Structure 1
Amino acid sequence: MTKHLTLAGFLAAFSSLPAWAQSVDPQGLEIIGKPVDGLMGFQPGVTQLATDQQWLDGMILVIITLITLFVTALLIWVAIRYNAKRNPKPATFTHHSTIEILWTIGPILILVAIGAWSLPILFRQQEIPVADVTIKATGNQWYWSYEYVDDDFGFDSYMIGAPALGGENMKTPEVIAELEAAGYSEAEWLLATDTAVVVPVNKTVVMQVTGSDVIHSWTIPAFGVKQDGVPGRLAELWFKAEKEGVYFGQCSELCGIAHAYMPITVKVVSEEAYAAWLGRAKAEYAGIPQDLTFASAD
């Protein structure tokens, strides 16, 4: 699909201020999916994919913890019970059929159980459903380009204050002012982009992921999705966000000197807000005339 960009859309990708079509009232959206200094564990999962993965991780952690404790206790017991002081005359047997059968069948049953739980979760990720919204994400050195496939428009997304925009990669007063103008705070530096992917809540979104130069990777931890973008190939992932808010991700494949400075911002909004944003975005990025009443909706 041909990407349509007006002069205004082209300049918006490089301007120091966020594009006006991106104003989905960011101050009214809760920032949910972001890393927090000093905390451990997963970001809040807002898709079924993410909650499934987090449950699977916890379940496997319980299993491997029990196995570790059992093996450790067994080693300690053997070391105490069968040391040279207690057994001056060592045993001469070479095998024990019952124990050998148990330590063969036991791990097999554990692996089968893990597979029975994990494979359905894997298949759920890989079986791409029918999309309500289809977006193509193209990784570039070092920013993302997005195309709303069904609506014939696209835009580029740069980190606010990114070196790729000629900045010095420092929290200068100008960069902080850009963050605040876009509805973010200083805490979102290195996470927020000048334009964000906007999707409706509780709708199936299919992302088509590729790369224009080297391998990149489109990742949103709170959605439980990660897909490499390989030049010359078109891969897909999907998600259905269940909560409105702002979510951050990063390119997760080492792609060059500015790899650390190509974040991803996704805003999940109500269907009404999405429809209003879609009208404004079509007008700005594709030059498609829109009904004034619709385009100016809140």
Structure 2
Amino acid sequence: MEQLTFFHDNTLLILIIITILVGQMLFSMLFNKFINRFLLEGQLIEMIWTILPALILIIIALPSLRLLYLMDENLNPMITIKAIGHQWYWSYEYSDYKNIEFDSYMIPINELKQMNFRLMDVDNRLVIPFNTQVRVLTSSTDVIHSWAIPSLGVKIDSIPGRLNQTNLMINRTGLLFGQCSEICGANHSFMPITIESISANSFMKWVSTNN
């Protein structure tokens, strides 16, 4: 997600520069009494405004294709987690450990505690160690859902009868929130996703407690 944000900011800067230059040229052509014939005629200017946009598109496309490749690449994941969508909750299975699977429901408003987040927190959070490559396999038991964590740049469809995969790595501890991003029925907006990122030692203690 950090690289996506960096790419967006760079592209936006290029667009601002292009907008300013084109706007200045249009303004000068509309309001100046004497129009510079260099802007209207000549092979040189035609070559410039044909080749320059092509070069700009290539400059934008190369890092974009690199990011698309990295988002689909799974690099030796240390942990594999299976996320299964239901109407309307998520269930998780830690494939690398025995007997670690649980359902994750949104905490109702009347049961919220002081430190819980309304409509975003769940009773069983997905616990992941930070600085660890994680592979997420996702599917569904009924309709199409979408497992999405905007702050991680992760969004993948959960389709019945199909197993999709994505990878993620969190570089700090904390809580990350998401929700189903596919309209999946009446309670679509009430099946959030909460990830708790902790240290590796704390994660192993959590595994030993829940295994």
Question: Normalising to structure 2: TM-score of the pair?
Answer: 0.91
Which letter maps to 1:58?
A: D
CA deviations over 1:230-257 (Å, ceiling 9, x no partner) = 2221111111111111111111122122
Aligned match of 1:202: 131
2:77 is aligned with 1:131:
yes
CA deviations over 1:249-271 (Å, ceiling 9, x no partner) = 11112212211111100011111
Aligned match of 1:278: 207
Aligned counterparts of 2:204 and 2:54: Cα–Cα separation in 1: 52
Shift of 1:100: 2.4
2:68 is aligned with 1:122:
yes
4+ residue runs of structure 1 moved beyond 3 angstroms? none
Aligned counterparts of 2:160 and 2:130: Cα–Cα separation in 1: 30
CA deviations over 1:141-174 (Å, ceiling 9, x no partner) = 111111111113311111101xxxxxxxxx4xx3
Structure 2 gap ranges (5+): none
Aligned match of 2:167: 238
1:80-91 correspondence to structure 2 within 5 Å: 80-81=31-32
Which letter maps to 2:12?
A: L
CA deviations over 1:116-154 (Å, ceiling 9, x no partner) = 222222211111111111001111111111111111331
Aligned counterparts of 1:69 and 1:210: Cα–Cα separation in 2: 47
2:2 is aligned with 1:54:
no
Aligned counterparts of 2:22 and 2:41: Cα–Cα separation in 1: 19
Shift of 1:222: 2.0
- DSSP 3-state at the match of 1:105: helix
Aligned match of 2:18: 67
Shift of 1:96: 4.0
Aligned counterparts of 2:104 and 2:50: Cα–Cα separation in 1: 53
Shift of 1:190: 0.8
Bigger radius of gyration among the two: 1
2:199 is aligned with 1:252:
no
Q: Pick from 29, 47, 51 the counterpart of residue 105 of structure 1.
A: 51
Aligned counterparts of 1:101 and 1:213: Cα–Cα separation in 2: 56
Task: Give aligned pairs, total.
Answer: 207
Aligned counterparts of 1:245 and 1:275: Cα–Cα separation in 2: 17
Aligned counterparts of 2:139 and 2:32: Cα–Cα separation in 1: 60
Which letter maps to 1:245?
A: G
2:105 is aligned with 1:175:
no
2:115 is aligned with 1:225:
no
2:93 is aligned with 1:157:
no
CA deviations over 1:75-114 (Å, ceiling 9, x no partner) = 11111126xxx68xxx9xx964333222211111001001
Aligned counterparts of 2:42 and 2:198: Cα–Cα separation in 1: 63
Question: Normalising to structure 1: TM-score of the pair?
Answer: 0.65
Q: Pick from 169, 179, 192 the counterpart of residue 263 of structure 1.
A: 192
Task: Give RMSD over aligned pairs.
Answer: 1.8
Question: Of Structure 1 and Structure 2, which has the larger fraction of its residues in strand?
Answer: 2
Which letter maps to 1:118?
A: S
Aligned counterparts of 1:70 and 1:216: Cα–Cα separation in 2: 44
The alignment-based identity, stated in percent, is 38
Aligned counterparts of 1:75 and 1:212: Cα–Cα separation in 2: 57
